[in-house]
Amino acid sequence: MKHARVLRGVAGVAGFLAAAEVVGATGLIDDRFLPRMSMILRGAAELLVDQEFLADARASLAAWGLGLLLTVAVAVPAGLALGALPPVERAVRPLIEFLRPIPSVAIIPLAILIFSDNLHLRVAVVVYAASWPIVINTIYALQDVDPLAKETLRSFGFGPVSVLLRVALPSAAPFIATGIRVAAGTAVILVVSAELLAGGAEGIGIYITEAASGNRMDLMLGAALWAGLFGVLSNTALVAVERRLFRWHDVRTGAAR
C-alpha cells in the first residue's frame, strides 16, 4: 500500500514535468520568460558543481539552521511559560493575535534598518516569523494536557515545576515538534525572502537575484528548485524524527501510518 502511494506520487511529479516540457516545446510560452522544464532541470544540475552557488547555499543553510535553533530556544520556553501561567497568557494573547497575522515578510524592511549584518538580519526575521507556530502549539498543547495525568504526579507530592517538566512537557512534546516542523518551513521562506529584499554578499536569494539580472532564468529557477527541495527534505526528516520519538503518541491517537 505504501509502495502504491509512493508510485502515484512519482507518477504525478513525472506527469507534471512532462506536461510542462510539452507546453514549452509547442512554443505556447516564450522560453525567454519561462524556460523549458528540461532546461530548468539542467540548470539545477549544473548548480551542483557551481562553487559560487554552493557557497551561497551554505550561507543560506547556516542562516536557516542558526535561525531555527534560536527560534526553538526562544519559542519553546516562551510557550511553556505562557501555557503554564494562564493569567500571563491572557495578558499577552491580544498582542500575539495582533502581531501573528502580519505577513512576516513585511517586517523585513524594518529589519534592514535595524541590522547592518546580513546574517543577523536573516536570523532575526526567522526568529520573529518562525516563533509563532511553536509558541501557539506549545500553549495549546500545555492547556490540553490531561488533568488526571498531572493530578497523578501531584498526588505523589510533586510540585508544580516537577509536574510541568515531567508530565506537561512530555505530553506536549509531539505538538511542540509539529510546531517546530512548521517553523522550519517558514524559516526557509524567510531566509530566501530576506536575501531577495535586503541583498548582501551570500545566499540563495542573492544567487537568484544575480541569475535573474543576468537573464539566466534556467539558473534562477534551478536555484529556486533547490530551495524548494530543501524544504521538502527537511520536512521529511523532521517527520521521521517525530515518528521515532513519539511512537507512543501515534499509538494512542490511533494515527494510521
Partner 1 sequence: MLEITDLVHSYGSHRVLDGVSIRAAEGELVCVVGPSGCGKSTLLRSVAGLIRPTGGRVLIDGKPVDRIPDNLAVVFQDYSRSLYPWMTAANNVALPLRRRGLDRQRRREAAMAALDQVGLADAAEKYPWEMSGGMQQRVSIARALAYRPSLLLMDEPFGSVDAQTREDLEDLVLRVCAHHGMTTLLITHDIDESVYVGDRVVVLTRSPARVAADLPVGLGESRDQIATRQLDAFVRLRAEVGRLVRGGSSTSNVLEKH
Smallest distance from the beta carbon of 141 to partner 1, in angstroms?
14
Residue 143 engages partner 1 in binding (rule: CB under 8 A): no
**157 near partner 1 (CB under 8 A):** yes
Interaction of residue 116 with partner 1, rule CB under 8 A: no
Does residue 65 bind partner 1 (CB under 8 A)?
Answer: no
Instruction: Figure out which of the listed residues 2, 155, 213, 257 binds partner 1, where binding follows CB under 8 A.
Output: 155
In angstroms, give the least distance from the CB of 140 to partner 1.
19
CB of 75 to partner 1, least distance (A): 22
Contact pick of 124, 141, 164, 167 for partner 1 (by CB under 8 A): 167
Q: Which residue in 36, 42, 120, 166 binds partner 1 (CB under 8 A)?
A: 166
CA 128, 58, 181, 231 torsion-angle sign: positive
For position 257 contacting partner 1 by CB under 8 A, the verdict is no
Nearest approach, Cβ of residue 149 and partner 1 (Å)? 6
154 binds partner 1 (CB under 8 A): yes
Rg over alpha carbons for the chain, rounded to the nearest Å, is 22
Contacts of 207 (CB under 8 A, 6+ apart): 52, 53, 56, 57, 219, 223
Q: Which amino acid is at 216?
A: R
Q: Cα 80 from chain centroid?
A: 21
CB of 184 to partner 1, least distance (A): 23
Question: Among candidates 225, 224, 247, 243, which has minimal Cα distance to 235?
Answer: 243
Residue 103 as a binder of partner 1 (CB under 8 A): the answer is no
Residue 42, exposed/middle/buried by CB under 10 A (0-12, 13-18, 19+)? middle
- Cell 536555484 appears where? 223
| Separation of alpha carbons 118 and 122, rounded Å | 6
Contact with partner 1 (CB under 8 A) among 46, 52, 117, 146: 146
Indicate the length of the chain as a whole number: 257
By CB under 8 A, residue 11 contacts partner 1: no
- Measured CA to CA, the distance from residue 207 to residue 16 in angstroms comes to 26
Q: Distance between CA 133 and CA 79 in Å, rounded?
A: 10
Among 28, 144, 152, 199, binds partner 1 (CB under 8 A): 152
- Judged by beta carbon, residue 52 or residue 151, the one nearer partner 1 is 151
Residue from 113, 148, 161, 256 touching partner 1 (CB under 8 A): that is 148
| Cα torsion through 95, 97, 102, 104, rounded to 10 | 80
Q: What are the residues binding partner 1 (CB under 8 A)?
A: 146, 148-149, 151-158, 166-167, 170, 173, 246, 248-249, 251-252
